[in-house]
Amino acid sequence: MTSRRPTLLAGTLLALLLLAGSVAATRSPAPKTPPAGPESPLQLVSFDSCADALAELRAATAAEVGPWGLVGGAPQQRAGSASAYAASKTAESTPAGEHSQTNAYEPGVDEPDLVKTDGKRIVTISQGVLRVVDPATNRFTGRLDLNDGSEQRHWGRQDLLLFGEHAMVLTQAMVVLPALRPGHEDSATASPGSSPPAATQLHLVDLSGPPRVLSTYEIHGRTLDARQTGSTARVVVQSHPELTFPELPASTDEAARKAAYQAAVTAAGIEAWLPAYEWTAGAEHGSGRVGCDRLSRPQTGTGSTVLTVLSFDLTADRLTDGDPVGVAAGADTVYSTGDSLYLAGQRQLAASSTPGRWPDQVGTSVTDIYQFDTTTGRPRYVAAGTVPGQLINQYALSQWQGHLRVATTTTGPLATPDQDTTTDQNAITSQDERSSESGVHVLRRQGGVLTRTGAVTGLGPGERIYSVRYLGDTAYVVTFRRTDPLYALDLSDHAAPRITGELKITGYSAYLHPVADGRLLGIGQEADLDGRTQGVQVSLFDVRDPAQPLQLDRWHRPDAWSAAEHDPHAFRYDPSTGLLAVPVNAGLRLLRVAGDTLTDQGEVTHPAGGHITRSLLVGDTLWTVSDAGLRASDPTTGQSVAWLPNS
């Protein structure tokens, strides 16, 4: 563990070393003219009828069926998006005497997390149990076990939203098939190419007294993400077709298998694609299915999956049907400004031999973006657009002055690796081995189309984006393969965004966070000159001069990692005191940001087995959360004030 402030000499030596390794990497690439867009603008259209919807969904799914079932099966949930769960302006901590909030992306838009506080109570969810803590007395005041005890369910990640006296618990559940349960190995097996059916379950909990469930809601599909503005929660659910494929003899050839499975798709009814839901509120019960009249599709073609956007009022005493809106398309990123909700997903394009169109090679990916108006009531589709490349997470998107800025990495065909290319799996990914570069595209809604007004590309040739931060009309983009260029971009001219400067250092920042006086914090990994990671690194940057960003100081722990690298909710910064709290391995490292320096102030730990995942401030007390319990500590020293074990 070290803490240092770089000197001019050290910076010069580093620059010379980097220069020796790659002359091209020492200067910013010239911005390129953005390629022409696709022939037809992307937009959503309604189905003519349920029969039309069924025919389109069958055709889209049949095209994805191979001799061993659905190609790739249902995708697994991402860590930290999507969700993982993984920014322009961030909700920051407030001065002593008040309380911190979830480190969310946009001001006024909350995100689900493992712990929430309103200052008078702390609410956590861990292993299916909701707990309420009184921070004034440092004791538990409520406990609610939400596990249903069913052997046929495996409960995945759980998160919370909080408003007034109500909390909403979002649970990801997987239905465990008999063959997947211990002692049932001889039972029926799952359908070929399929994954166990997923379900999203919501609990509306009253916190005005002992915690109690007011209402429940369950829908087929996995939670992609959720956002809360005021008392309104929007939950985005992704559903894959629920199909039953026939069991075939092992001797069946591949052509016959594929034909049999496609026949099963052709025979399936509309209920295989439209997610079913049910809700309870006391003795009342309701059920239904997302209707064909609530479903739309991209004009470019129907997808086999369905995205459903649900809306709930957290002040109500029941959840009812969620007023669903569905889209037959894929997405992996949710971004919300409060007034608008964006769904974005990667799509592979087929070959195009027409010069001047992007892309012109099989397998090149684009990102489709759908914008919904969420000012009132049910989300209303307003526009869509497409940009080349793929997003890293929601931080790649930013709405500003009527424009949407989108940072993507585009990837070409596999290139022949250099002889000296490192094989360190932490440094090089399959995408890095391709001909790749990154850029920021600026879109503006014109009618129902998100049209590109400008773009700056050519960032990090041969690299990919690791983090993005938008601050008004400025953006900071980190790309990495062997070294870390921190690019500063001027986006004030929507038609002509440009690179203003870059900083070349070893390692990378996977999350960027603004601090006072034109400074920026970066959380990531240090690396050697070949791109091999060397352990967690916290960097303090000076970005007051956009032409010359500087690294002022850093804190490094060799062979360590931080959850904040991939999950911004694990990051805690208090601007009133300069406190920076970052999980490192199982503990929480306390640093102090003051002027141009980072100072190590100690560590908070939990008993064995307790990996700290979150921290929050209530008044002048730092609270840390793990599956083992909660600890109250002095934020200036890390000294323990109280320990509350989960039981």
- In whole angstroms, what is the distance from residue 23 CA to residue 372 CA? 45
- In whole angstroms, what is the distance from residue 323 CA to residue 321 CA? 6
pLDDT at residue 131 is higher than 90: yes
Question: Tens digits of per-residue pLDDT, 311-363?
Answer: 999 999 999 999 999 999 999 999 999 999 999 999 988 655 444 444 444 44
- In whole angstroms, what is the distance from residue 517 CA to residue 520 CA? 9
DSSP strands (E only) in 165-221: 166-175, 198-206, 212-220
Top-confidence range, 7-11, 418-422, 426-430, 590-594: 590-594
Query: In this predicted structure, what is the pLDDT of residue 422?
Result: 37
Query: In this predicted structure, what is the pLDDT of residue 149?
Result: 67
Segment 108-115 shows an average pLDDT of 98
Token pair 């997390």 is at which residue?
113
Question: Tens digits of per-residue pLDDT, 431-461?
Answer: 444 589 999 999 999 999 999 999 999 999 9
Query: In this predicted structure, what is the pLDDT of residue 442?
Result: 98
- In whole angstroms, what is the distance from residue 169 CA to residue 285 CA? 19
Split at pLDDT 50, 70, 90, the class of 537 is: very high
Query: In this predicted structure, what is the pLDDT of residue 359?
Result: 42
Question: Tens digits of per-residue pLDDT, 178-196?
Answer: 443 344 333 333 455 555 6
Query: In this predicted structure, what is the pLDDT of residue 196?
Result: 60
- In whole angstroms, what is the distance from residue 634 CA to residue 615 CA? 12
Give the type of residue at 560: A
Q: In what order do the strands lie in the sheet with 222-229?
A: 44-46, 295-298, 325-327, 306-313, 232-239, 222-229
Query: In this predicted structure, what is the pLDDT of residue 484?
Result: 84
Give the residue with greater pLDDT, 241 vs 9: 241
Which residues are paired to 172 by β-bridges? 200
Segment 519-532 shows an average pLDDT of 96
Q: Where are the domains of the chain?
A: 1-30+393-518, 52-85+105-325
Task: Give how far Cα 460 sits from Cα of 3, 30, 76, 397, Å.
Answer: 28, 11, 29, 19
Segment 580-584 shows an average pLDDT of 98
Task: Give how far Cα 375 sits from Cα of 229, 237, 327, 338, 378, Å.
Answer: 10, 20, 19, 7, 9
- In whole angstroms, what is the distance from residue 29 CA to residue 17 CA? 20
Pull the structure tokens for residue 228: 């809360």
Query: In this predicted structure, what is the pLDDT of residue 187?
Result: 34
Round the average pLDDT of the chain to a whole number and report it: 85
Query: In this predicted structure, what is the pLDDT of residue 39?
Result: 46
Pick from 148, 119, 140: nearest CA to 646: 140
Token pair 């401030």 is at which residue?
617
Residue 454, Cβ neighbours under 10 Å: how many? 20
Provide φ and ψ at 586, rounded to 5°: -90, -15
How far, in whole angstroms, is CA 216 from its chain's centroid?
A: 25
How far, in whole angstroms, is CA 588 from its chain's centroid?
A: 22
Task: Give how far Cα 487 sits from Cα of 198, 395, 475, 509, 543, Å.
Answer: 40, 15, 8, 12, 10
pLDDT at residue 222 is higher than 60: yes
Provide φ and ψ at 561, rounded to 5°: -140, 165
Classified as helix, coil or strand, 245 is: coil
Split at pLDDT 50, 70, 90, the class of 414 is: very low
Query: In this predicted structure, what is the pLDDT of residue 609?
Result: 79
Query: In this predicted structure, what is the pLDDT of residue 360?
Result: 41
Query: In this predicted structure, what is the pLDDT of residue 336?
Result: 98
Instruction: Please state at what angle helix 50-62 crosses helix 254-267, rounded to 10 degrees.
Output: 160
Which residues are paired to 525 by β-bridges? 508, 536
**Under a CB-based contact definition with an 8 Å cutoff, are residues 501 and 493 in contact?**
no
The DSSP code sequence of 375-387 is: SSSS-EEEEEEEE
pLDDT at residue 11 is higher than 80: no
Segment 54-64 shows an average pLDDT of 96
Query: In this predicted structure, what is the pLDDT of residue 358?
Result: 45
- In whole angstroms, what is the distance from residue 345 CA to residue 78 CA? 13
Split at pLDDT 50, 70, 90, the class of 429 is: very low
How far, in whole angstroms, is CA 604 from its chain's centroid?
A: 27
Query: In this predicted structure, what is the pLDDT of residue 191?
Result: 52
Residue 183, Cβ neighbours under 10 Å: how many? 7
Token pair 């599909």 is at which residue?
221
Split at pLDDT 50, 70, 90, the class of 396 is: very high
Looking at residue 389, the DSSP 8-state letter turns out to be S
How far, in whole angstroms, is CA 74 from its chain's centroid?
A: 18
- In whole angstroms, what is the distance from residue 597 CA to residue 635 CA? 18
Q: What percent of the chain has pLDDT over 70?
A: 79
pLDDT at residue 574 is higher than 60: yes
Q: What percent of the chain has pLDDT over 90?
A: 74
pLDDT at residue 24 is higher than 70: no
The DSSP code sequence of 275-344 is: PEEEEEETTEEEEEE--GGGEEEETT---SSEEEEEEEETTSS--TT---EEESS---EEEE-SSEEEEE
Query: In this predicted structure, what is the pLDDT of residue 364?
Result: 81
Query: In this predicted structure, what is the pLDDT of residue 7?
Result: 36
Task: Give how far Cα 326 sits from Cα of 85, 266, 347, 535, 623, Å.
Answer: 21, 22, 18, 43, 40
Segment 29-43 shows an average pLDDT of 51
Tell me the chain's radius of gyration from C-alpha atoms: 25
Looking at residue 619, the DSSP 8-state letter turns out to be T
> What is the four-CA torsion angle of 419, 425, 430, 434, rounded to 10 degrees?
-40
Query: In this predicted structure, what is the pLDDT of residue 153?
Result: 56
Looking at residue 82, the DSSP 8-state letter turns out to be H
Among 19-33, 152-166, 436-450, the least confident range: 19-33
Looking at residue 635, the DSSP 8-state letter turns out to be T
Q: Which residues contact 259 (CB under 8 A, 6 or more apart)?
A: none
**Under a CB-based contact definition with an 8 Å cutoff, are residues 132 and 140 in contact?**
yes
Task: Give how far Cα 645 sits from Cα of 140, 239, 545, 609, 633, Å.
Answer: 10, 37, 48, 12, 14
**This prediction's pTM:** 0.86
Give the type of residue at 265: V
Question: Tens digits of per-residue pLDDT, 240-292?
Answer: 999 999 999 999 999 999 999 999 999 999 999 999 999 999 999 999 999 99
pLDDT at residue 589 is higher than 60: yes
pLDDT at residue 47 is higher than 60: yes
